[in-house]
């Protein structure tokens, strides 16, 4: 077995995700370096990684990149190479033009292509092989997200000694939708290679468990699924999970349940309390012409986010004369995403046409209705925007969690600001005192916006306090520790049969 140079016996804790938690920087002189990406996952896992001598396997984000394993900020990073073809077929194709729209309730039509599927299998095998090669005997591997759903099974086949976790960051659809997938059984079997499968919402875990019953007929009880054991090797090594005999058969117990992901809430509050960031927030408002109300949307430019619905509601309020362009401004940050996928190119055209129309119809020389920014920004600037925004609009049509909603709440240490939140975002299970909306209901959305604008200060504070408490208590460190505790604790205590 090949092992990484830094750790000849392998790593006891390994995270596998499509992307490594670093961004590649190309400098003016042509040299390259890596910078930790601002994502929440790496913040959550950094301490665990350091303590456990962990490694992270993933793609650097550039095609044909053959960077050797390296250490960054105390974490061992192990790059997996994706060729330009892999990027096109596995990443842009199967991951982002088949699974992504399918798992988000077919908001855009998923495309089913056999060559994409073949590439998905090949690339998942590459990630699994890498994990199999670098994880130490009896170690723990935590696989992340929909791009790598076959990895748990592929890994278990080679390394039955490992404890394997999987977390799905996006929704898992109802069976009536999921069953469209020509490879629906293979995906379910791939995931069932894990010991614990985490989802954002209880409803997602329920959808998955139902798909398991429908497609494979396995017995399920609550969050526990009985998976018949096939290989003798599994029985010998994964003792703590091979827990019972049913109808004379050995089964592995697999847990499928919700672990809602979160953010590093304290870090957001810390930034929000910085005087320079508060000054920047004032500057932003001033730059917008000091309107009475600043509304904000922050999204990857993705058709799941309901940006068009939000613009429609705002445009109609301006057209109605219910709100005046001098009083209310919408800042919409739409960060570039998956720009080579046609559905994303079409969305961009559509959104930019709508923004242009609304601004043309309702803007004045001194006031623009929508300040539209097609950029990504550093975390400091995002927090300044959150502080500057009286109303935060999260109108996703479907979203695994939506961390922007949680970031807004975590930043508002002043207990001010109103969150308008789609009930179709996972965050709405937790943020119960947000103004919850069905973004398809444009009238309802308009009413919620007006209610947010007019909400008395005392009510704003009451709602925000309750949400802040929730986000502070359930931060991303708690998310990862509760997942890992479930993963590494022997399941329901039933004894291994002596027969083997």
75-79 vs 32-36, strand pairing mode = unpaired
Structure tokens at 387: 């502080």
> Which residue lies nearer to ligand F6P by CB, 305 or 338?
338
Alpha helices in 195-300 (DSSP H): 202-216, 232-237, 265-272, 275-287
- Shortest separation between residue 323's beta carbon and ligand F6P, angstroms: 33
State in Å, rounded, how far the first CA of the chain is from the last one.
Answer: 27
Size of the site for ligand F6P (CB under 6 A): 7
- Shortest separation between residue 483's beta carbon and ligand F6P, angstroms: 15
- Shortest separation between residue 400's beta carbon and ligand F6P, angstroms: 6
Q: Is 169 in the site for ligand F6P (CB under 6 A)?
A: yes
- Shortest separation between residue 146's beta carbon and ligand F6P, angstroms: 7
Q: Report d(CA 136, CA 159) in Å as an integer.
A: 10
Residues paired with 226 in a beta bridge: 253
> Which residue lies nearer to ligand F6P by CB, 145 or 234?
145
- Shortest separation between residue 226's beta carbon and ligand F6P, angstroms: 29
> Which residue lies nearer to ligand F6P by CB, 145 or 475?
145
H or E element, residue 197:
strand 196-199
> Which residue lies nearer to ligand F6P by CB, 60 or 253?
60
- Shortest separation between residue 405's beta carbon and ligand F6P, angstroms: 14
Q: Is 337 in the site for ligand F6P (CB under 6 A)?
A: yes
Considering Cα of 459, then 259, then 336, then 338, what sign does the dihedral take? negative
Q: Is 170 in the site for ligand F6P (CB under 6 A)?
A: yes
Q: Is 309 in the site for ligand F6P (CB under 6 A)?
A: no
Query: Could you tell me if residue 335 is left (phi over 0), alpha (psi between -120 and 50 degrees) or otherwise beta?
Result: beta
According to DSSP, residue 70 is labeled E
Q: Is 62 in the site for ligand F6P (CB under 6 A)?
A: no
DSSP letters spanning 330-394? EEEEEE---TTSHHHHHHHHHHHHHHHHHHHHH--SS--SEEEE-S---HHHHHHHHHH-SEEEE
Q: Is 338 in the site for ligand F6P (CB under 6 A)?
A: yes
- Shortest separation between residue 316's beta carbon and ligand F6P, angstroms: 31
Q: Is 145 in the site for ligand F6P (CB under 6 A)?
A: yes
- Binding test (CB under 6 A) with ligand F6P, winner from 13, 15, 16, 19: 19
Binding site for ligand F6P (CB under 6 A): 18-19, 145, 169-170, 337-338
């Amino acid at each position: 077995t090949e092992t990484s140079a830094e750790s000849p016996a392998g790593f006891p804790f390994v995270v596998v995700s499509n992307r490594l938690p670093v961004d590649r920087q190309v400098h003016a002189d042509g040299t390259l370096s890596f910078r930790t990406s601002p994502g929440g996952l790496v913040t959550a896992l950094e301490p665990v990684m350091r303590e456990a001598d962990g490694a992270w396997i993933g793609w650097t984000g550039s095609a044909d990149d053959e960077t050797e394993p390296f250490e960054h900020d105390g974490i061992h990073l192990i790059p997996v190479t994706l060729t330009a073809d892999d990027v096109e077929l596995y990443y842009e194709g199967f991951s982002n033009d088949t699974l992504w729209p399918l798992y988000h309730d077919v908001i855009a039509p998923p495309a089913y292509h056999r060559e994409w599927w073949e590439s998905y299998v090949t690339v998942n095998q590459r990630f699994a092989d890498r994990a199999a090669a670098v994880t130490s005997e009896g170690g723990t591997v935590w696989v992340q997200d929909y791009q790598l759903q076959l990895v748990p099974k592929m890994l278990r086949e080679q390394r039955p000694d490992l404890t394997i976790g999987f977390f799905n960051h996006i929704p898992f659809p109802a069976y009536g939708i999921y069953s469209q997938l020509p490879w629906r059984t293979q995906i379910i079997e791939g995931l069932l290679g894990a010991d614990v499968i985490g989802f954002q919402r209880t409803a997602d875990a329920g959808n998955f468990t139902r798909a398991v019953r429908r497609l494979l007929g396995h017995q399920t009880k609550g969050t526990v699924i009985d998976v018949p054991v096939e290989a003798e090797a599994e029985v010998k090594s994964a003792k703590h999970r091979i827990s019972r005999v049913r109808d004379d058969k050995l089964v592995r117990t697999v847990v499928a349940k919700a672990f809602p992901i979160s953010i590093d809430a304290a870090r957001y509050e810390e930034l929000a309390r910085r005087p320079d960031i508060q000054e920047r927030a004032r500057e932003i408002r001033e730059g917008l012409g000091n309107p009475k109300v600043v509304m904000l949307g922050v999204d990857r430019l993705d058709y799941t986010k309901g940006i068009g619905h939000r613009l429609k509601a705002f445009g109609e309020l301006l057209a109605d004369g219910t709100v005046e362009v001098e009083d209310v401004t919408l800042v919409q940050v739409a960060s570039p995403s998956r720009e080579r996928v046609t559905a994303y190119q079409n969305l961009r055209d559509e959104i930019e046409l709508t923004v242009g129309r609304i601004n043309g119809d309702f803007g004045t020389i001194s006031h623009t209705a929508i300040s539209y920014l097609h950029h990504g920004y550093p975390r400091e600037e995002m927090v300044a925007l959150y502080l500057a925004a009286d109303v935060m609009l999260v109108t996703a049509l479907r979203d695994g969690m939506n961390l922007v909603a949680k970031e807004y709440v975590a930043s508002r240490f002043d207990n001010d600001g109103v969150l308008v939140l789609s009930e179709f975002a996972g965050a709405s299970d937790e943020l119960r005192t947000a103004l919850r909306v069905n973004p398809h209901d444009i009238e309802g959305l308009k009413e919620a916006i007006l209610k947010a604008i007019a909400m008395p200060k005392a009510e704003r504070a009451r709602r925000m306090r309750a949400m802040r408490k929730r986000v502070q208590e359930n931060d991303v460190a708690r998310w990862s520790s509760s997942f890992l505790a479930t993963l590494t604790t022997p399941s329901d205590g039933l004894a291994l049969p002596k027969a083997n």
